[in-house]
Structure formats: structure tokens, C-alpha cells
Structure 1
Amino acid sequence: MNGWQRQADDVTALKRLPSGGIRAGETILVRGFAAAGDGGAKSVAWHPECELEDDGGLVHAPADGGRGRWIVAHEGVGKFSYFGVFGPETAADTALDAMLAHPSIRRIEADCDLNFTQRHRIARGFIDLNFNGFTVTTTGIEPAPPNNPFAAVFFFRGEETGDVQRVVLSETLSELEDRFEVADAAAFKVGDWWLVRGDRLSGGAERELEKLVKVTDVPDPKHVRLQYKNGWTLEAGRVLEYRRVKPIVQANVRNMKFVAKGATEASGSHPLAFEYAVECDAVGIDATGTYWPVVMRRYNTFYVTERCQLLNPAEVVVGGTGYLTQQIYCLYGHVRDCLTSNGRHLNDFTGSAYCHVENCHADGDDLGAFVTHGQFEHDLTYVGNSGLMSFANSGPTWGESAKRITVKQHVASWFLAFRKVTDLTLEDVHVYARAGVENTADTGSFWLNADGVQMKNCTAEKMVKFKQVSARSRRPSVVENCAFALTKGRRVSHEEVASELTFRGCRFTGSDGNAFAGTGGFALSGLPNRGGAGPDARPIRFAGKRLTIRGGEIRNSGFRLTGGGEVRLDVGSGATISGEQRRASVFQQKRRAGRRRDELEIRRREQHGRLPGDGALRHRRQRRRSRVLRDRIRL
């Protein structure tokens, strides 16, 4: 009859059918796995020449041992129910491995909660694991190896080949160059993937270059063009190593609720890791109680980590634990719309570049929600996030270096970028003081490296301070339209700051004995600076060689010039200095024992280069007694 299909109640009944006399391609509807109606229904077709091993779900061999197999008509989609897995009571490991072993399966769908007892190492791509919002647990999972953040439940890993080249650079590999010198370009083909790695600087982990990149051109026998613009200059004589890799491509994991129970390195678990992976996404993973990072990546290129969450990880003190995502030597990644609560880090970049973090938020973030390790990261962008930030702050072993990091529209309780962070750009970043945490004295503060740092429209409730541990930038350190409260007695710039700091249209409040202790210049333009309460507030101590004030107002706060040698003081263009200080004059320079008298040049300029004479200055004093400019020098 047209439309009639033969049926079997369950898999056992299917396998009991005699292998002889069945037509090739004949289909049978199996009404359940162990019993009709149990949820394991599927349609199977007869393949008389097939000799695949019976895997318990996709392939079934006849019980009589005859030739031929019943194969599920899956249309590229595998389901755990095909294997009789209807909940966490039955471990899902065998079913997962069987579906991954079939190249024709391109998507694996969960239709119930699942429990895994093994840590799966997966060597294939072009596969989607979609858990459809069901919960994954790891009760009874096998112990993890020591110190192995890649011992995830699902670890996708590409393959290293034996094709290796080393070259001693005969010429400088410039910053932002995409033509790379090789020993023999004949080994490189367009479209191949290679791991390129520079030699160490000091025997630690200080490598400026270590990335998984694709060959896009072979212009001559000694050069290849890679899909990457080099981030750090490597001088002639440095060594590059190339290793060809066959990466995992388009392996994606989606829509999983992951609940871990183990609290130790051996018993703890986490869902996902990728190594040597291209275009591999993690979307909608909601994890609780994990040990290592929820999404661990190394040598990844072109990927998205999106709508993932981490709540209360099992460990946050041991390095590497309690992360939402760690990305080591990664390129062109997007992390967006992610959340963490009481974790170590929401997002960690180590030796990574050209990545973007957007709309991610962390609470309980005292250990640092957004960090870079300092292994020569570059060109990273953060937009619209919240949580403590700490860049290049993992110690000298890694190089303590990063460059061209941009942060916009961010809220944090502390912002740390005081190591070798070059060309940091901050826009609309707001740092607030937070009570009841271990670092209460430092919350509400910016700590920044004065090496090309530029800030716009930023605020801090307690402090901004500058250090200088590198001088790599070609651009000035400029702060515009920002507002900073100052904590009594603390330094705004430290002794090692040799570059000039320029503040335009900024506002300082509560200055009382603060210091610009560096030897560099300090320029104020349109700056409202309001000192501490009362006439006993101490002046700002300035140790540099040049102090320039253009416009703005300084109220109840003076400057005490503490540096030795010549000091150039330049005040003008409408600058107003008013109020009282009993402990110091507006400008005060103290003579040090044994030193010659310091010379002080005061020039008053108005806009358009007009120079008022003494009469104009006296007239101004008479008209506005409440705003007095006292140019007294105590020697």
C-alpha cells in the first residue's frame, strides 16, 4: 500500500529480523529504543553491503550475524535518544563518541539532561554540539591530569604536523608588517595554516610573536604573506620558527547549562577547550562551579564567545582557575554579552591580538574581571563592559607588555595599567570606590603607565596616578575633560615619570598634599582644581622642570616646587588662582642646603599673544580682591 512502512517495536526487535531477503534501501520505523514510545523512535534503512561496527545507536547489526546493517536515516543530525540516553541516569559518553565518529553527522542535538563521565578529546571539525538548554553534569567523571586546563569535557584539538622551519632574520621584521621571512617559501601553500613563533627575549616566556596564521601569498622564495599584521618589531638576528598545523575548523558548542560538582584539580570539571582551532564558537554556555576556565582557548583564530555565563567557580585563587574564558595566542576573537559572578577573570588575553570584548559584566570582581597577561598583547578593544581591569600585570616572566589597548564606556572599581602598557586609550571610563573589599584603599583609582596614555571623559572617585616603566610611544600622554577626586597626601605621578603629562579641561577636587613627583613636565589647560576643605590644606608638590598653567581656576590649593635646579613656571591665558592657604603661598620654592638659588621665570600670557604689563596686573588685583594672584617666592 502507498505510504505503508514496516515497523519494529524497539532496537532488539529490529536486530532479530533475519538478514536475508531484505531489499536494499528498505526502511523500518523503530518505535522506541528499549520499548515502543520511550522517546527513542527513529527511521532506519537497510544497507546490505555495509560492514560497519554496531555502535548501539546509528548502526545496528542483525542478531543472526549476517552481512548488512541497519543505519539511521539521520539527515546529518545525531541525537542521544538514538542510543537510549534519556537523562543523566545513563552516561552519554559512548553515544557522543559514536556520533562524532560519523563524518556524515554535522550536528548533535541533546533532547534531555546529560551526564558525562569521560573527558573527550575531539579531532574533527564541521560539527555543532547543540544542547538546547539542557543541563550537562559530570558526576563520577574520570580524574583530570595535574595542571591541565585543557582536560575539558569537550576538548577540540587540531593536529601539529612534522613540517618545521627555522630562520634567522636577515632583516628587521617591522611592526604591522605582513610579509614574513622564511627559510624556504616552497614549503608554504596559500591557504595552509602555520604556527609562527619568535624566540624568547630572556629565557622566560617573553615572546613578542606566537600566533596561528594562514598563508595568503608566496611573493618570493624567501617570504610569505600571512593573514596577520605583526604587532612588535623583531630585529635582524632574531629567530622565527614555523610549524604547519591542520586546525579544527567550525566546531561549535551551543546552549548548554553546565553544573560542575568537583572542587579539586582532579575532580573538578569544565565544559570546553579549543587548541589549534579556526572559526570555532562557544555560544550560550551557562556554567556553575567550574574549576578551570569555562571556555579555554589556545592558538585560536576567528571565533566568537557569546552569551556565556559563570557563577561561583569552585576555585579562584590558584592561577588559571575560575575564569569564564582564557585566550592564549589568539587572533580576531569576539567575546560579547557574557557575565560572571564571584569569578577570577571574565576575560583573559595572553599574547593575543586584534580581539574585541563587548557588553560583558562582572560582579564579585575583586580578582580582576578583564585582564591581559602581559605577553605582548596588542590591538585589543573593550566597549560597554563593567568590572575591574588589570592589564599586563602578571609579572616580568611574561614581559609585562601590551600596546594599543582601547577601552570605551566602562565602569570599574579599580583600573590597573601601570606596567609596560603603551598607547592605552580610555574614553568614558568611570572608576568608583568600593567598600568592604581587601583593597579598599585603592578602589576608585586609575594606576596608569605614562607612555602614550590618552584619556577622555573619564572619572575617578579617589585617585589617578601615573607611573612610567616604558617609553615606547610616539604620542603624548594627554588627559581631556576628565574629573578626578584626589586622596590626601598621595602622588599623582611617581618619581620615574619623565614624560610630560598634559591635562585639558579636567577637574581635580580635594587636593591636599598631593605630589607630581616625576621629573617630566606638567601642563594644565582650563583646569578647575579645588583643594581640600579649609585653609590648612597643603599645596601640591611639584618636582618637575616645567609647570604650565593655561586658563582654568585653582582654588584653595597652591604648588610647592620641590625639584632641584632650574624650574620653568608658565602661567597665563586667563588662569585664575584664588582662596587661602596658611601653610604655603600659591607658588613656593624652598631652597635646599648646599644648592645654588633656583631660578624661577614667571610669564603671564593672554590669548593671542598679548602680554599684560605690571599696571594691568595691578588693576586686576584691585578690581577682584577675592581672586588674588600672589607670585611670592620663598627662598
Structure 2
Amino acid sequence: MFGASQNADDALDALINDPAIHRVEAHSDLNFVKRHVYHRSDIEVDFHGHTVTTEGIELNTLDNPFGAVMFFQGVATGVTQTVTLTEDISEYSDIFEVADSSIFEVDSWWHAQVKNNAAGGAQRELDYLVKVTEIFDATHVRLNYKLGWLLAKGRPITYKKINPAFRCNVRNMSFIGIPVPPNGTSLRPFPTWDQIGSNPVAYEFAVECDASGIKASKVFWPVVMRRYNTHYVTERCQLMNPEERDWGGTGYLTQQINVLYGHIRDCNTSNARHLNDFTCAGYCMVENCHGDGDEYGPFVTHGQYEHDLTYINNSGLLSFANSGTTWGDSAKRVTVKKHIASRIVASKRLTDLTLEDCHAVVTYTKPGVKMANSGSFWVNMDGLQMRGCTAQEMVTISKGSSRAKRKNMIDSCSFGMLKGYEIARPIRTGTTQVGYTPSNGELTIINSEFYNIEEVTLGSINKLTLINTWFKGLPQVGGTVKVGTREIIMQGGGLVDCCFLFTGAWDKVGDVNNARNNPDQWMTIDGGAICSGTNAEKAFLKSVDPTNVITWNFGNCTSVAADASTAHFQILGGLNKLRANGSQFTGGKYEAVDSAFGNGSYFFMVSCLEEGVNRAALPAESDTVKHSTGNFLLV
């Protein structure tokens, strides 16, 4: 073959279908008009950077991303066995129950699939190509996979023996697809519309099959399509300006379904749908990959029980476990380090999410047009750990799962906040949508800050521990945080031009997910915390609702009001218990009405240093209200 003037399909078939040949090279541009399927192993196809076109290619079959120019596919042997589990298989176990181990052999490969959960047709925690590495007894074998999720007694698992395609590698191709008429709807404009386009490579039931150096444009289905792959590398691949992005499954650099031990590195996309899509993936790594024009989300998972995924030094929008209940809305132990994104969306049932040195930045889809919700994190508070992260405009915390064993922690992070948004989701009566439900656990925030606050909501969280963490109002405007958190402990840090306005505990009304609870809240401010400036509420700590029940504890803290009308605390109703011991207050005033300290309450203020504070609005002293003696007052 010398060039693209003659179609290269017959030559490709002759070479790849010859089992004696293990390497095929191209030394000129080539054109293909057929969609080839190969069932073999140990073949290297290297195009040496030459251009591959598909002018005049035959129609694909309907809705078929595997209809690539080259599709390497393992073969099912027909040997099948199903077992109904007689006991749980624990998370991390690599020992699996089978019905009869006599048909299994060490080093044989099997497609292991658990029956889906009733809640979704694709909710399968186990659906992989795996290898038998040891046979223990008549009903137990070891597989080369540590289970990511517990499988309960009674769940059926079906094993199908596979002869995989091994080591079929495609390298160094410049691929140009063919035009597909634009659509822009969820319906086919004509019956063969999604059969026109072309894509270069696909793998199914494949082991150690790598794709490298493939640069593509004008593709329809994914550039590198994988299903039931394991131990593979996709590297130095590129997709620019695909033919379609809105039709499901189109415009991807690589789609990977039911995959293990994949390594995707040094890849990039421009104006694509997804750079890297995982659906039911385990133990994979994505490294040094970058997507521009990224509003569709370069890095995504469907939420089909993905687990143990690692992303390092990438850029582009992240969206995890976000494709819907059909797949399960679930993922576990996802780690992202050193990432730049327009958005990071991880608010579904994502357990043990680690974000480290990740930054959500405001992004524009075109000059002057801001991407919606860019510069934001949406995260699930279930083993959440964030370190050294920043968001220019928002962080929103919800809780849709309770699987984690580790604590929730945010450390050394900085978040800008837009007016009207929620740091923690409140109850929305009747709302069960994952990502919009409140956080009923505990969270510790260390060495962090929330800035540009105007009006935001801490709409839930049972216990929030703030260590050297600051809430800063919008300069020259100030801000208010509406607090539904049940208990806040502030050690160091503090409020700058900002008010905590207490609304009663977040679950005082209850909903379909949370039983109705009492409204009691606790606020402790200690450890050298500082409140300063002023704000529109004219108070640093404020309670107005007559149904509020709040315990206030002021310890080693300093409160400095910017003007005489700003209150260090303003307590205008409800049932309150206040203790201030060893605190320092400067300027401004106290405001605490008598009715807020009736039966069952107390007000005890002692050993405090006050400088120029207006005390006129303190409650009248009684057996349970003491504030006139034991303090050091400077006028």
C-alpha cells in the first residue's frame, strides 16, 4: 500500500488475521471503508504518525460505539456458572464463592457479574473481567481483584469463561473522522444518523491492550472505546472538536466500562464531551491529562460503584457518580490531587472522597459568557477530606450516603461565596434528590476561610468544629451566615464583618429522611477566636426566632465592634443559656432581652475585659442572671 488512494482494508485484514505476524506498520497515509473485528492476541499496529481517514466507510450498526475501524474482542467460550451466595463476601476480599470450582483453572479468565440491585437496572457492584489465581476447595476460588463493595448473602453471581484478546496495541495514528449532520436534539433526525460517523479503536474482553499516540478529530463515538478491559494503558492521545457532544456516548476521548487497573496519562481534549469516562471502574489512575472547552466535563464517572480511582495533575471539570439512579449514584475512595477545574461535582453517594490541592476557578464558555456554577465545589460529606483546595465562588456540602469509617475534614482551604448559596444544604421538604439533602454528621474545618460572604446558609451539620477558620464578609458590605448547624465549636479564627444568625437546629422540622428533632443549638467561641468589624445585621452572633433554644459559651476570645451600634451578641428571643468567662469585648454593645432569659435559662458573665462597651441592653440581674461583678470595665 502506498497512500490513501487505495483503500487499505484488505491489506489490514491479511496482516492482522495472519497469526504468524505480530507487528504491522504504516509508512503512508491510509483510508479505510470497513469496520474490522479481530479475535486474536499479540499484535502491534503502529501508524508512525500517518493520517488515517474513513472516506466512504460502511454504515455502523445502530447505537454501536464498538463499530470502530479496529475492534479487538475476546471470545466467550460458552462455559457459564451461577452461584447464589450462601454468605456475605466482604469488601476488599479476593476470595469468591462459586457453585463448583472443578470447572475453574488457575490463570483462566472469567466475566464475573453480580445480579443488579432492584433499585436500578445497572446497579452492579461486581461486573469485571477477572483471572483465577488460586482454587481453595469445591466452592471457593481466589481472583486477581479485591472487591470494592460488600456483596450480601443471597446475591447471585454469574461467571462466564472468556478467552480474552491479549496485548493488541494500536499506536501513533492521526485519525480524521467523517462529518455527521448536526442534531441538537435527543432524537435521531433520520434512522441512520448515528451510524455514519467513525472512530478508530475499540476493545472488549481485552487484557494488556494499550492505545498510545492517537490524535483524532471529527469522531462520533469515543476515540478509544473499552469494555471489560484490564491492565491497560491509554497514553499521549488527543481529541479535538468531535462531530457530536450532546448525543449520549459521543465526543469522548476514551469511554471505559467495567474496567480494572487502567492507566490513562498524558492525554488532552479540546471542546469534547469527556476526556475520561469511567463506568464501573476499579483501581485506575488518570495522570497529567487536560481538557479545554470543558463545560461538558472532561473527567466523569457514571456512579456504577466505581472505587479506588486516582487523579493526579489534571485539568478540566470533574463530575463523579453523576449519571443517575439507574447506575447507583455511587463511588468510593476517589482521590484527586493537584487539579484545576471549572467545577468539581461530587455530591452524590460518593464515599471517602479526597481532594488535595484542587482549585475550582471561574471559567467562560466564550468571551463575556460565564460558565454556570463555575468556580465551585459540590461535595458529599461521607468520609470527605479536602486539603489545600480553593473555590472562587462556592462550596456546597450535602450528604447522600453514610458508608464512611473515616472523619470528615477540610484543611487549609479557601472558598469564595456567592450571595444566596449554601455552604451546607438545608432540609427541603419532600426533597430526596441525592446532592440536595442535608448533612446529618460531623465536620471539622481547620486553617481555612470563607470570604466575600453576603448571605449564605449553613443549613445543616450536627457538629461543626472550626479551628483557626475565618468567615469574612464582603468588603464594605459585610455578610450574614444563617446557621442551622446544631453545634458549632470555634477554636481560633473568627468572624470579620460577618454575622452568625441562628435559625434553630436544621432538623427541627424534620422531613422524609430526618426525624423531627428539638431546635437546640450550641455555640462555643474560644481558643483565641476574634470577631471584628461590622455587618448588615449589626451583630456578630444573633438570635431572633422565639422558638430558638441556644447555649452560648464565650471563653478565650476577643470581639471588637467597628461602631457603637454593632452588638457582640444580640439575643432577642427564645430560651438561652449564656456563659462568658475570660473574654475580651471592645466597643459596640451587648443586647440580650429579659424575655430571652426566663425560666430554665441563665446568663453568667465573669472575668471579662470590657473596653467602651454599652451594657444598657443587658437583661436585669436575678438569681440566674449575673453580669455586674467580677468583670474589668474600661470606659
Q: TM-score interval w.r.t. the shorter chain?
A: 0.7 to 0.9
Within the candidate set 515, 520, 523, 2:457 is matched to: 515
Shift of 1:627: 11
- RMSD over aligned Cα, in angstroms? 2.2
Deviations 1:526-567 (A, max 9, x none): 012211123x53421111210110001311112011015211
Which residue, 67, 70, 93 being the options, matches 1:151? 67
Q: Amino acid of the residue matched to residue 493 of structure 2? A: G
Match of 2:215 among 269, 275, 286: 286
Which residue, out of 53, 57, 60, partners 1:141? Answer: 57
Q: Which residue, out of 158, 182, 190, partners 1:241?
A: 158
CA distance in 2, matches of 1:332, 1:277: 12
Q: Which structure's CA Rg is the greater one? A: 1
Correspondence 1:82-481 to 2 at 5 A: 85-202=1-118, 203-263=120-180, 264-436=193-365, 440-481=371-412
* Distance in 2 between residues matched to 1:330 and 1:532, nearest whole Å: 47
CA contact (8 A) 2:492 2:529 kept: yes
CA distance in 1, matches of 2:615, 2:348: 39
Kept in 2, the 8 Å contact 1:579–1:627? The answer is: no
How far has the Cα of 1:274 moved from its partner?
A: 0.2
| Of 547, 552, 562, the match for 2:488 | 547
Asked if 1:583 is matched to 2:537, the reply is yes
1:602 paired residue number: 553
Amino acid paired to 1:388: L
User: What SS class does the counterpart of residue 451 from structure 1 fall into?
Assistant: coil
Contact map agreement 2:555 2:581 (CA 8 A) in 1: no
Residue 441 of structure 2, aligned match among 499, 517, 535: 499
CA contact (8 A) 1:541 1:561 kept: yes
Q: Does 1:617 align with 2:546?
A: no
CA separation of 1:545 and 1:619: change in aligned 2, threshold 3 A? closer
Give the counterpart letter for 1:457 in structure 2: G
CA distance in 2, matches of 1:97, 1:629: 92
CA distance, structure 2, for counterparts of residue 576 and residue 629 of structure 1: 20
How far 1:489 sits from its partner (Å)? 2.1
Residue by residue over 1:277-323, the C-alpha shift from the partner in whole angstroms, topping out at 9 and shown as x without a partner, is: 00000010011110000000000000000100001100000010000
Gaps of 5+ in 1: 1-84, 607-612
What is the distance in 2 between the residues matched to 1:473 and 1:256? 44
Classify 1:561/1:224 alpha carbon distance in 2 versus 1 (closer, same or farther; 3 Å).
Answer: same
- How many residues get paired? 539
- Distance, in Å, in 1 between the alignment partners of 2:395 and 2:612 is 30
Q: Distance in 1 between matches of 2:616 and 2:262?
A: 57
Amino acid at match of 1:513: E
Per the TM alignment, residue 204 of structure 1 is displaced from its structure 2 partner at its CA by 1.2
The CA deviation at 1:231 is 0.4
Which digits, 9 at most, give the CA deviation of each residue in 1:76-102, with x for residues without a partner?
xxxxxxxxx111111101111111221
**What secondary structure sits across from 1:186 in the alignment?**
helix
* Contact 1:325-1:348 within 8 A present in 2 as well: yes
Residue-by-residue CA offset, 1:143-190 (whole Å, 9 max, x unaligned)? 011100000000000001111111110010100000000000111100
Paired residue secondary structure (2:261): strand
2:583 is paired with a residue whose SS is: helix
| Worse-superposed segment, 122-131 or 552-561 | 552-561
Question: Do 1:539 and 1:584's aligned partners in 2 also have CA atoms closer than 8 Å?
Answer: no
Which structure 2 residue ranges, 5 or more long, are not aligned? Answer: 181-192, 427-437, 506-518, 558-578, 588-607, 620-635
Distance 2:84 2:455 in 1: 54
2:404, 2:195 → 1: CA distance?
A: 45
One-letter code of the match for 1:345? Answer: H
Residue 584 of structure 1, CA deviation = 4.0
| Counterpart-to-counterpart distance in 2, 1:501 and 1:90 | 65
Equivalent pairs: percent with the same residue? 45
With normalisation by structure 1, the TM-score equals 0.82
Whether the 8 Å contact between 1:591 and 1:598 is mirrored in structure 2 is: no
Q: Go from structure 1 to structure 2 and tell me whether the alpha carbon gap of 1:267 and 1:617 turns closer, same or farther (over 3 Å shift).
A: closer
The correspondence for 1:483, drawn from 383, 406, 414, is 414
Give the 3 Å change call, closer, same or farther, for CA 436–350 of structure 1 in structure 2: closer
Residue identity matched to 1:617: S
CA drift of 1:578 comes to 1.0
Measure how far apart 1:615 and its partner are: 7.6
Matching residue's letter, 1:604: G
Q: Structure 2: how far apart are the matches of 1:632 and 1:306? A: 69
Q: Secondary structure at the match of 1:94?
A: helix
Question: What is the letter of the counterpart of residue 482 of structure 1?
Answer: C
Q: Distance in 2 between matches of 1:177 and 1:631?
A: 65
Question: What residue is the counterpart of 1:35 in the other structure?
Answer: none
8 Å Cα contact 1:586-1:632 kept in structure 2: no
Aligned-pair CA distance for 1:617? 3.0
Partner amino acid, structure 2, of 1:601 = W
One-letter amino acid of the structure 2 residue matched with residue 460 of structure 1: A
Asked whether the 8 Å contact 2:556–2:583 carries over to 1, the reply is no
Shift of 1:632: 8.1
Q: What amino acid sits opposite 2:24 in the alignment?
A: I
- Cα displacement (A) at 1:266: 1.7
Residue 428 of structure 1 and its aligned partner are, at CA, apart by: 0.2
CA change 1:518–1:629 in 2 (3 A) is: farther
Deviations 1:467-489 (A, max 9, x none): 11111111121100001111112
**1:591 CA displacement:** 2.6
Q: Per-residue displacement from partner, 1:588-622 (whole Å, max 9, x unpaired)?
A: 12234xx4x6142314258xxxxxx9684358889
Residue 161 of structure 2 aligns to a residue in which SS? strand
CA distance in 1, matches of 2:168, 2:526: 64
Determine if contact 1:157/1:274 at 8 Å carries over to the other structure: yes
- Distance in 1 separating the partners of 2:64 and 2:204: 13
Which amino acid in structure 2 is aligned with residue 575 of structure 1? A
Deviations 1:68-127 (A, max 9, x none): xxxxxxxxxxxxxxxxx1111111011111112211111001111000010000111100
CA contact (8 A) 1:481 1:505 kept: yes
Give the secondary-structure state (helix, strand or coil) at the position aligned to 1:397.
coil
1:327–1:591 Cα change, 3 Å: same
**Secondary structure of 2:133's match?**
strand
Name the structure 2 match of 1:566. 520
- Structure having the higher strand fraction is 2
CA–CA separation in structure 1 for the residues paired with 2:495 and 2:70? 61
Summarize deviations over 1:43-83 as a string: whole Å, max 9, x none.
xxxxxxxxxxxxxxxxxxxxxxxxxxxxxxxxxxxxxxxxx
1:630 and 1:87 mapped to 2: Cα distance? Answer: 93
Aligned equivalents of 2:613 and 2:321: distance in 1?
Answer: 46
